[in-house]
């Protein structure tokens, strides 16, 4: 499904304060996010219709790995729960990252991942890759 800019909802983005719409420099970029191209041919800028969604997405790296924590406590006992220190979002991080409204101007197609038929076509096209990574 392709949309014209006038059809698009208002969008938001969390980005680095000096250039919130810029890409992360290539020498700092790991290409390990879910919408990244594994062959490093292109990158994506994550935007969302709700500010809260942008914040949740960018803060995902700060979420604890609860399964790993559970295994650690099972292996080393209940007192091992004290081994985990919170990794709070620091004041410095908050100062360096800003939530900004986006005025999107398209020069290519936009894929609507909320459209079931679009997702099915993508799944069919990439079935081998999905199976290889256990994403049946």
Angle at 65 between CA 64 and CA 66, to 5 degrees: 95
Q: In terms of pTM, does the model score above 0.75?
A: no
Average pLDDT over residues 34-46: 83
Here the contacts of 84-88 (C-beta below 8 Å, separation 24 or greater) are 87/62, 88/62
Task: Give residue 25's pLDDT.
Answer: 85
Domain chopping of the chain, boundaries:
5-132
Average pLDDT over residues 98-105: 88
């Amino acid at each position: 499904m392709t949309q014209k800019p006038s059809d698009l909802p208002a969008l938001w983005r969390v980005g680095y304060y000096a250039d919130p719409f810029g890409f992360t420099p290539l020498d700092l970029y790991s290409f390990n996010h879910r919408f990244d191209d594994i062959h490093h041919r292109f990158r994506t800028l994550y935007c969302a219709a709700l500010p809260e969604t942008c914040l949740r997405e960018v803060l995902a790296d700060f979420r604890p790995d609860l399964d790993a924590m559970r295994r650690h406590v099972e292996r080393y006992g209940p007192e091992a729960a004290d081994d985990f220190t919170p990794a709070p979002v620091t004041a410095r991080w908050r100062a360096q990252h800003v939530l900004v409204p986006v005025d999107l101007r398209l020069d290519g197609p936009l894929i609507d991942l909320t459209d079931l038929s679009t997702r099915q076509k993508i799944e069919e096209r990439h079935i081998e890759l999905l199976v290889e990574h256990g994403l049946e």
